[in-house]
Chains A and B, each alone.
Chain A
Amino acid sequence: MESLRGTMYEKALGRRPGQKILLADDDPDSLEGLRALLEAWGYEVEIARDGRAALERMPVVCPSAVITDVVMPRMTGLELLEAIRRDRSAVPVIVMTAHGTVEARRHAAAMGAVAYLPKPIDTTHLRSILQRALAGVGRDAGS
């Protein structure tokens, strides 16, 4: 795993210094795949395997954006989003799910999620959402 970051993905599309993303997902395939993708785009990525773990990492990581799955053990993505907003943090949160409902989407929007994406994620779409959400946070070398 480490060697990959040294070879194929490192510097692949330019670094974005200081742009950290906290990624929460309980599905290891999705988690590792998305982590590799985000790193290839030049972001620093911190991972959490459920909502509670993500919430605990928040003050340590200070992410520029959060990407979270909805259905996770211990704490769902929507509960995580709620907790983040309770802490009065305006960090951009992107919610993704394989089984979306209209209700969940409305809820996420009401809590100020910047996007609600079906899984598997359309990567081009995700990239532009991230670039928009992080505009001003740091220079985007990727486009």
Chain B
Amino acid sequence: MKHRILIADDDEAARSGLADLLSSWGYEVEQAIDGKDALEKAPEFGPAVVIADLVMPALDGVALLKPLAEVYPNAVVILLTGHATVETAVSAMREGAYDYLTKPVDPRRLRVLLDKAVERGAVQREVTLLRRQLRESRGFGPLLGASPPMQEVYRLIELAGASSAPVLITGETGTGKELVARTIHQMSERGKGPFVAVNCSAIPETLMESELFGHEKGAFTGAHERKAGFFELADGGTIFLDEITEMSPALQVKYLRILQDGVVRRIGGKNEIKVDVRIIAATNRDAAQAVKDKAFREDLYYRINVLAIVLPALRRRGQDIPLLVEAFIAEFNEKYGRHVKAVDETAMMRLRDHAWPGNVRELRNIIERAVVGCSEELITPTFLPLGIAPAERREQGDSVLLPLGTTLEQGERELILRTLESVKNNKTRAAVILGTTPKTLHNKTRRWRMAKES
């Protein structure tokens, strides 16, 4: 295959000389008289490499980089420079130029550089293509959805993946906060490091401190051994703190110190341990409101909120439902050895009308049940729980509808989760309503979570 190279230089003699040289090496060459001209010619010509002079009247080599990346991101750019401007060329590399050559061009160096550049360009094109496919077709990595709100989420994930700044993910239960956190982690330069997920509301407050920060042997009754905390375990990686707004004020102060100083101290420990941990926090509450209510520290709020990602509720992206349904059917066909093809039209209408308080997780559970229960190729409304009802019934109020065939355990779970939702996850209030103790609720929710994770 003949690789195409575009040369942009206002010096006619230098340009055609270079063009002749490259042609003799077997490249297909096009010439542009300045940056502006190159910008117009690049998309049509489709070069693997653009060689641009640093100094040109209309749009110089550096100014060319950004607009070129927009109209034609597939080219690798090599800049040509006189001796005096090496510094500019170095800064241009920071802006995205691949490399630079000083004039007069040393043919041997140019040839080596071109070989590398062409190879690099191929990789770059592949990445661009892959990324576009990921986005346009179904979603982004493990995340599914092509709707505009999800596109915005993907954009933010990419931004977060390229940095090590703290991120705050806000979203209702079941919208995939942990999945987003994992994706950011994997995309980041610490992707090979550990990913430690901690649910701040699941661990009793008395244990939280030792879980997060670790303890020395004999630090308190029951501390038989020295134990590393989550922050230490996550060293070199990412810690994901879910339900961050449920953290007690005392812990918030300690946590703030980690953010400020990057050090932890085990309970009973004398030394501070330096940790390199990226923090991703999540909440299903309005964090700003929690600050107003004085439940969450304002300084902490700003510090974890460097990048805010808001995950849309499923009812706000109903257009993604068919795609999600299709993916989940495929998943559970595989898992249970079923041969379900799709959901029928009426069932799909029901699914699109449902309010989805449990979001994607709820949809996934329902499709799982339907696939298991369905003996035919099409899922009809009879295989959906009664709760997935036409819109007018759903709007009637806060009731839990359990279809016949629900097990006691499933029913209990549904009732507890819906009650928790209705009181914004306040376990004490939920316990009062359900006539049980916060401890029992806590144990049950923890068991479900562990079952989910294993």
Spell out A's residues near B (CB within 8 Å): 1, 3-4, 7-9, 11-14, 27, 29-30, 32-34, 36-37, 40-41, 119-124, 142-143
Chain A contact surface mostly: loop
Q: Mark B285-314, 1 if CB is under 8 A from A, else 0.
A: 000100110000111111101111010000
A4 touches B261 (CB 8 A): yes
- Residues in chain B near residue A14, CB distance under 8 A: 163
Instruction: Say whether B271 faces chain A, with CB atoms less than 8 Å apart.
Output: no
Closest 10 CB pairs of A and B: A33-B302, A33-B299, A12-B165, A29-B299, A120-B291, A40-B306, A123-B305, A37-B302, A7-B262, A124-B308
Contact A13 B291, CB 8 Å, known A30-B299, A123-B306, A124-B308: no
- Residues in chain B near residue A123, CB distance under 8 A: 302, 305-306, 308
Instruction: Say whether B159 faces chain A, with CB atoms less than 8 Å apart.
Output: yes
Q: In angstroms, how far is the closest chain A Cβ from the Cβ of B252?
A: 11
B306 touches A12 (CB 8 A): yes
Across chains A and B, the number of contacting residue pairs, with CB separation under 8 Å, is 78
Instruction: Say whether B164 faces chain A, with CB atoms less than 8 Å apart.
Output: yes
Q: Mark B325-349, 1 if CB is under 8 A from A, else 0.
A: 0000000000000000000000000
Quick one: closest A residue to B292, CB to CB? A120
- Residues in chain A near residue B310, CB distance under 8 A: 124
Contact A12 B164, CB 8 Å, known A32-B299, A124-B308: yes
Contact A33 B300, CB 8 Å, known A3-B262, A8-B259, A40-B306: yes
The 23 sampled A-B contact pairs (Cβ below 8 Å) are: A4-B260, A8-B165, A9-B306, A12-B163, A13-B307, A14-B163, A30-B299, A30-B302, A33-B299, A36-B259, A36-B260, A37-B302, A37-B305, A37-B306, A40-B165, A40-B166, A41-B306, A120-B291, A120-B302, A123-B302, A123-B306, A124-B310, A142-B159
Instruction: Say whether B421 faces chain A, with CB atoms less than 8 Å apart.
Output: no
Q: In angstroms, how far is the closest chain B Cβ from the Cβ of A138?
A: 14
Instruction: Say whether B276 faces chain A, with CB atoms less than 8 Å apart.
Output: yes
Contact A8 B298, CB 8 Å, known A3-B261, A120-B288: no
B298 touches A33 (CB 8 A): yes
A29 to B262, CA, bound (A): 19
Quick one: closest B residue to A36, CB to CB? B303
A5 to B398, CA, bound (A): 48
- Residues in chain B near residue A9, CB distance under 8 A: 165, 306
Spell out B's residues near A (CB within 8 Å): 159, 163-166, 259-263, 276, 278-279, 288, 291-292, 297-303, 305-308, 310
A46 to B264, CA, bound (A): 28
- Which of A8, A9, A29 has most chain B Cβ within 10 Å? A8
Q: In angstroms, how far is the closest chain B Cβ from the Cβ of A90?
A: 27
- Residues in chain B near residue A12, CB distance under 8 A: 163-165, 306
Q: In angstroms, how far is the closest chain A Cβ from the Cβ of B297?
A: 6
A41 to B260, CA, bound (A): 16
- Which of A1, A29, A142 has most chain B Cβ within 10 Å? A29
A36 to B301, CA, bound (A): 11
Partner of B298, one of A13, A30, A143: A30
Quick one: closest A residue to B95, CB to CB? A139
- Residues in chain B near residue A13, CB distance under 8 A: 159, 163, 165, 306-307
B301 touches A120 (CB 8 A): yes
A8 touches B305 (CB 8 A): no
| 10 more A-B residue pairs beyond the given contacts A12-B306, A13-B306, A33-B299, with a C-beta to C-beta distance below 8 A | A3-B263, A11-B163, A29-B298, A30-B302, A36-B259, A37-B302, A37-B305, A40-B166, A119-B298, A120-B298
- Which of B164, B291, B302, B306 has most chain A Cβ within 10 Å? B302
- Residues in chain A near residue B292, CB distance under 8 A: 120
A32 to B300, CA, bound (A): 9
- Residues in chain A near residue B164, CB distance under 8 A: 8, 12
- Residues in chain B near residue A121, CB distance under 8 A: 288, 302
- Residues in chain B near residue A122, CB distance under 8 A: 288
Contact A34 B288, CB 8 Å, known A3-B261, A12-B164: no
- Residues in chain A near residue B163, CB distance under 8 A: 11-14
Q: In angstroms, how far is the closest chain A Cβ from the Cβ of B422?
A: 26
- Residues in chain A near residue B260, CB distance under 8 A: 1, 4, 36
A36 to B259, CA, bound (A): 10
Quick one: closest B residue to A39, CB to CB? B306
Q: In angstroms, how far is the closest chain A Cβ from the Cβ of B258?
A: 9
Q: In angstroms, how far is the closest chain A Cβ from the Cβ of B174?
A: 22
- Residues in chain B near residue A4, CB distance under 8 A: 259-262
A36 touches B307 (CB 8 A): no
- Residues in chain A near residue B288, CB distance under 8 A: 120-122
- Which of A13, A27, A30 has most chain B Cβ within 10 Å? A13
A112 to B296, CA, bound (A): 33
- Residues in chain A near residue B263, CB distance under 8 A: 3
- Residues in chain A near residue B297, CB distance under 8 A: 29, 33
Contact A34 B165, CB 8 Å, known A7-B262, A120-B288: no
A1 to B159, CA, bound (A): 25
B261 touches A34 (CB 8 A): no
A27 to B301, CA, bound (A): 14
